[in-house]
Structure 1
Amino acid sequence: MAERREIRPLTGFRGVAALVVVTYHFFLAMGGTAPFLFDRGYLAVDAFFVLSGYVLAYNYDATFRAGADVAKYGEFLFRRFVRLYPAYIVILSLGVIKLAIKPGLGDFTAWDAFCNLFMLTGWGLHAKPVVGLSWSVSAEIFCYAAFPLVLMLGRLKAIGTGVALLGLALLIVTISKVGGGISGPMDVVSDVTVFPLLRALAGFSIGVILCGLAARRVAFSASVADLGTLLACLAVVAAATFDQTDLATYLCIVGAVFWLAADSSLSNALFANGPVYRLGEISYSLYLIHPLVFSAFGRPMLALQPVIGARTTLAIAYVVCVGATILLASLSYRFVEIGGKRALMQLRQSVLKPASR
């Protein structure tokens, strides 16, 4: 299962989305609300799902198109598992330690423990998550499991594609209306309903369809690709600032993924430069780690408010917390994500070798 050449702007965009989520959660953790551009930061999670669908379709469509079988499916799932599980289990362990130190560990049942261990807390199975953010990782696991079926959406003809997109649009509107969003219509997070799972599956499916559309479209000229990228990015900023329904912002995020995937010179300048691309590489660890960092460093710094004022305290706390998160995420990416993936791949090889003799 050889992967294709990476579309670097999409990786960088994932990094920006992760930083938006981190910023959004920082202000919530500090007891306030995020400033104008970040107050809908939860929608950056939907960007993760769309990006995931696009990138997986881009890399694996040819593999499954050549003929899907149990072996290919198992290999695909194993590759996704070793990509996600090492960092997840480390953060889960730290979460359990935190709960053991503080009251509340007894509130978790054996069912909760089972679902947390096997990344099932985002499936609406009434399982209480140890790590609040794990719902999205769990939902992504479900999308991986459904990937061969979802992949068929990217192969539909024009009419079928239109019908699929219309159906997904109606699903997203329905989720925004009846999903019980917390901070906004699409901030749908729950361990007792399937709405978060449907939210993830909708974004993932849209990403797969976008990849199918991109494969069939006429190649854009350099100037058109740059213009599309610029307008798409400006649209995301404008919608995130003024949109109260979340739907316009969601649509603009989808448009941004489509145009960034064109891999134009502007998209590379904006999202494939060294620092932004690096954020994309560490985005998964960045996403998982930041709540623990905010709890350990951010909230205690609130004690400085009477001395240096609220704004100065927030500014210092933001620099310290985000800086610490990026540092720890970089270490996690190198030693936990890459190291853990390598170890699991080697473990599988050592198990399979005796069986193949």
Structure 2
Amino acid sequence: MKNEIKSLTGLRGVVALWVTFFHFFSFKNNLIESIIGKGYVAVDIFFVLSAFLLTVSYSEKFKVLNFKGVQTFYKKRVNRIYPVYIISVIVIALFFVEVSKTKFLINAALIQCFFNPNYLLNIVYWSLSTEWICYLIFPFLLCFVVRYKIRGEILIIASLALRFILPYLPDTLHIGSDVPMQIGKSSKYLDIPYGLNSLVRTISSYLLGMGVVTVSAIKIKKDGYFIYIAIILSVLLLYTTRGLFFIPLLSAFIIKILYEGGQSFVKTFLESKAIYMLGNISYSLYIIHYIVRKQYVVLVDIMFLNNLLLISFSLILSYFSYILIERKVKIFKV
């Protein structure tokens, strides 16, 4: 794998900020709301990016699986996601929500996706749970793909098939389906953040990220015009409902271009210092912003300004979380 691709780190930052605005704002202006209000799609882009980078990094290493290699992979994944995560779980349990031992353990173990959404301590935890499950199966899935030379096109088709059936799956595919959910079913197309359905959603995005790495039909040209076409098309699709189906696929192409293609205005923007730093703190921001959001703190009477201040506060907290926890705290020595 190449050294860090700063534009992909920057992309992660933009996507995290999109999710943050989605949770904080609801606009009456349809032109703006059609973009901000579709921020849940950004989570799928996170998954695609994660799968892409893991596939690029481990395709050679996981041609043949061995215990030490898989163990090292798991340790790195724990080091990456667990310190900030478990601290946030503890903070919520101590200061913000009354939590039973069962609820705490389910969240601490990152297995929320198997249970009734009532067990979620933070609404964004569903995605961390499903991604953790994908981490567990990833070495074996990638080994299978590499060993049997599964074409990228097949993975993409499988991904689209899973995404197509998502809206038709039962809503009760979780432990505790007999207990009414505290959160109702979203009216937004493919906004599925609970139960085994959310795991299917994540696996679908992972297959996209894995497939686009090797798909032979995509040839990257140095002029980079395709990235502008893909971005414009993605924005236009946000003004549709069913068109959202294709945004994760387009994001996979964009990620591949940023990784393999030449310099472009988009790449330069994503590599800028501010956006790159936003990318570095994006994981902490993803977790922290909704904790801040749920406290309903009123600093000023103007709601729009109040939310901007709370987002700014979330960014500050995320920066310190990145500096003091993400960069410093490692559970395993690797």
TM range (shorter): 0.7 to 0.9
- Counterpart of 2:110 (choices 112, 119, 129) is 119
The superposition leaves residues 140-199 of structure 1 with CA deviations (integer Å, 9 ceiling, x where unpaired) of 111111111221465388884433322221110111343655141211012xx3111111
Contact map agreement 2:167 2:190 (CA 8 A) in 1: yes
Letter in 1 for 2:275: V
Match of 1:205 in 2: 207
The superposition leaves residues 192-251 of structure 1 with CA deviations (integer Å, 9 ceiling, x where unpaired) of x311111111111211111223xx57863311xx10111111122111233445213333
Match of 1:282 in 2: 281
Q: CA RMSD in A?
A: 2.8
Letter in 1 for 2:325: V
Question: Does 2:85 correspond to 1:88?
Answer: yes
Contact map agreement 2:208 2:249 (CA 8 A) in 1: no
CA distance in 2, matches of 1:176, 1:187: 9
Contact map agreement 1:49 1:200 (CA 8 A) in 2: yes
* Counterpart secondary structure, 1:325: helix
Residues 71 and 91 of structure 1, relative CA distance in 2, 3 Å threshold: same
Question: Does 2:317 correspond to 1:328?
Answer: yes
Number of equivalenced pairs: 319
Contact map agreement 2:49 2:255 (CA 8 A) in 1: yes
- Once the two structures are TM-superposed, the CA of residue 299 in structure 1 deviates from its matched residue by 4.3
Contact map agreement 1:179 1:188 (CA 8 A) in 2: no
CA distance in 2, matches of 1:111, 1:295: 22
Letter in 2 for 1:44: A
Letter in 2 for 1:80: R
Residues 272 and 202 of structure 1, relative CA distance in 2, 3 Å threshold: same
CA distance in 1, matches of 2:268, 2:244: 28
TM score, norm. by length of structure 1? 0.81
- Once the two structures are TM-superposed, the CA of residue 339 in structure 1 deviates from its matched residue by 1.1
Contact map agreement 2:7 2:267 (CA 8 A) in 1: yes
Letter in 1 for 2:131: E
More helix by share: 1
| Structure with the greater alpha carbon radius of gyration | 1
Match of 2:177 in 1: none
> Equivalent residues in 2 for 1:43-62 (5 A)?
43-62=41-60
Structure 1's consecutive aligned runs of 4 or more residues displaced over 6 angstroms after TM superposition are: 30-34, 156-159
Residues 183 and 245 of structure 1, relative CA distance in 2, 3 Å threshold: farther
Match of 2:189 in 1: 185
CA distance in 2, matches of 1:218, 1:128: 42
Match of 1:339 in 2: 328
Match of 2:220 in 1: 220
CA distance in 2, matches of 1:90, 1:17: 23
Question: Does 2:154 correspond to 1:169?
Answer: no
Letter in 1 for 2:221: S
Match of 1:77 in 2: 74
Structure 2 residue runs of 5 or longer lacking an equivalent are 172-184
Match of 1:26 in 2: 24
CA distance in 2, matches of 1:259, 1:123: 35
Contact map agreement 1:154 1:212 (CA 8 A) in 2: no
Contact map agreement 1:26 1:318 (CA 8 A) in 2: yes
CA distance in 2, matches of 1:82, 1:286: 17
Contact map agreement 1:184 1:246 (CA 8 A) in 2: no
Structure 1 residue runs of 5 or longer lacking an equivalent are 305-312, 350-357
Farther off after superposition, 145-154 or 322-331: 145-154
Match of 2:126 in 1: 135
CA distance in 1, matches of 2:208, 2:187: 24
